[in-house]
Structure 1
């Protein structure tokens, strides 16, 4: 059975659930969001990713109705949100602090918003029980927030946010308070819950790994603008700019001058008197322009002898080694003083490390291993 790929953004017939249309937000003379246009679709798990102060939380607060738009429009299901107060939007927001009521039990915390909506008791009971099942909290229903773990409190906040069946759930750094192992486990729970409920999730995070794990699409932001929106694999493998390549994961950036070689091939002259590196790209570069090769450490092979068939190879000396359990990262200094990071997987337990500090090694990579970027 072939599984259909979820990609409504590629279907011109699909109507977006959320539309940012030329949205600008100013605080006094400071522009937090700068003429931003972006569509988000129903059932998406959409991540806003960027450093502190890039505008991602401002975007979320405008969606929730806590900030007004200075210029432009935000539409939710085709309706302009400008005049709609936060409590009347089909939107719920889950805060980093979870904001649970400490004197209420887990069950009462989840029921709180439904009681305020004056939901009939039988419906309310059924809905709270459904949320408890969804978040696997049935056993903790009568406990107070201080009697459960951080990960369980995070799930209570999620259950409470979903209880009113919003069209859209906004998550502001929702896993920031959890330790690394728990955060990783909870990421998969979040994805599972999002899939089961079919609610559109928009998550704000500065954690690249988190956004790459949970999101259907990632929007990388900087200084009030979206620099690139794409699926996690595209963002990683085909960054649109140096900023994106550098912000997501580990990368080597080699600067040089581009010279055409073949149909979509270029030679990148990176150092006087050194053999140029070769790369393929669908981009059209002008002869002699400045260009960059962005290449991930795991795409670079490390060997003792010069590989016969490699189009790109360079000899260097290991100046540092980071042992990360599942892999080792070698920092290799090549002629001209540039340091290249290369990674190898540690597939065998307790095998003697093949390379050590000060060893001379060859680095090599294929024609398509690196992305060629202009800026």
Structure 2
């Protein structure tokens, strides 16, 4: 299959029929009274994978993580680690550790004492504890801060202390529950790359829960998009973005415009869709019958916006009026209102510091895009 989007690293055990998953959720259900937090969910996660559970609040992602950690028990189904069922295994007996959003550092202890706490609880020898703490401090670049208290550190430094404490016991799996939520945007972006590098260096399996799609897309090898206790789609970031399998996933991951229509003609892998008062030609489309309802989804960066329609052969062209403009620095986002009332988003890269003849509000514009720029969503 032709690859979609950028490839972050050559790692895809989920495509190897002989590979055995490290973590298996097997038809897991979790109910709280009459509420199904997790609904008959099955999922495999592989060794050394950086895996993200992504979804809105209340979709069941944190509940899934808590069941894996042992803080909640499944109502039915099974969770296996390395082929062994975790049923009845208490949290402290599971070869994994969890890092919480709040960090939960002991304020009266120094950085090195916070990192050493779990090792002391396990009865590790004092000399081994000293060596392990030094190793963790070096790993997260906090050696000069070993004697400080948490309140003497920045938010990013506290986050790294919590990470070092989670890694000190050398778990097989590290679970991260919204670990970067308390950081500002710039520091959060820097920390994302630090976590990626650390995971690669240690060769561990990371499972992260987040509602931030950019965070999931940046760090993860694969993402499970969750909705109402179920998984909508599991795929690499590039496939989720370029080839979502449902309107929900297309709309949840990044910006997208969805045009509703009816199939006019479908032959081979090309389809013609009557939508929003025009006809759109789509390549690599699923086979649908004439008259079937379908939707066309397209990302804003795939659209060329101009005052005149494109003169390139085979291009789709849709006319509209500029409704809103947002200058974002690297790009400018245009919301264009079609005659049908539907809003379509298009972005223009700000490659020049001074843009001549900038398109403004209420101008009539043409949106042009090739037949392979978007995709048909049948559900």
TM over 0.5: yes
Q: 1:358 aligns to what? A: 362
Q: 1:142 aligns to what? A: 147
Q: 2:284 aligns to what? A: 281
CA distance in 1, matches of 2:305, 2:9: 39
CA distance in 1, matches of 2:234, 2:164: 29
Counterpart contact for 1:208–1:248, Cα < 8 Å: yes
Counterpart contact for 1:107–1:141, Cα < 8 Å: yes
Counterpart contact for 1:280–1:372, Cα < 8 Å: no
Ranges in structure 1 where 5+ consecutive residues have no aligned partner: none
Distance 1:310 1:327, change over 3 A: farther
CA distance in 2, matches of 1:336, 1:28: 45
- Does structure 1 residue 321 correspond to structure 2 residue 298? no
Q: 1:287: how far off?
A: 2.1
Note the 1:146-185 alignment, pairs <5 A: 146-185=151-190
Q: 1:340: how far off?
A: 1.1
Q: 2:315 aligns to what? A: 311
CA distance in 1, matches of 2:265, 2:133: 64
Per-residue CA deviation, residues 49-88 of structure 1 (Å, 9 max, x unaligned), is: 0000000000000000010111110000111000100000
TM-score, normalization by structure 2: 0.96
One of 123, 133, 136 as aligned partner of 1:131: 136
CA distance in 2, matches of 1:192, 1:279: 39
Q: 1:349 aligns to what? A: 353
Stretch moving more, 334-343 or 28-37: 334-343
One of 267, 291, 294 as aligned partner of 2:294: 291
Counterpart contact for 2:266–2:288, Cα < 8 Å: no
Counterpart contact for 2:285–2:375, Cα < 8 Å: no
Counterpart contact for 1:310–1:364, Cα < 8 Å: no
Note the 1:237-252 alignment, pairs <5 A: 237-252=242-257
Q: How many residues align?
A: 371
Instruction: Provide runs of 4+ in structure 1 moved above 4 Å.
Output: none
CA distance in 1, matches of 2:328, 2:302: 17
Q: 1:29: how far off?
A: 1.3
CA distance in 1, matches of 2:212, 2:288: 33
Q: 2:3 aligns to what? A: none
- Does structure 1 residue 331 correspond to structure 2 residue 335? yes
Partner SS, residue 342 of structure 1: strand
CA distance in 2, matches of 1:98, 1:354: 47
Stretch moving more, 220-229 or 328-337: 328-337
Stretch moving more, 216-225 or 114-123: 114-123
Partner SS, residue 189 of structure 1: helix
CA distance in 2, matches of 1:339, 1:180: 29
Stretch moving more, 279-288 or 26-35: 279-288
Partner SS, residue 161 of structure 2: helix
- Does structure 1 residue 56 correspond to structure 2 residue 61? yes
CA distance in 1, matches of 2:357, 2:171: 53
Distance 1:132 1:103, change over 3 A: same
Per-residue CA deviation, residues 214-237 of structure 1 (Å, 9 max, x unaligned), is: 000000000000100000010001
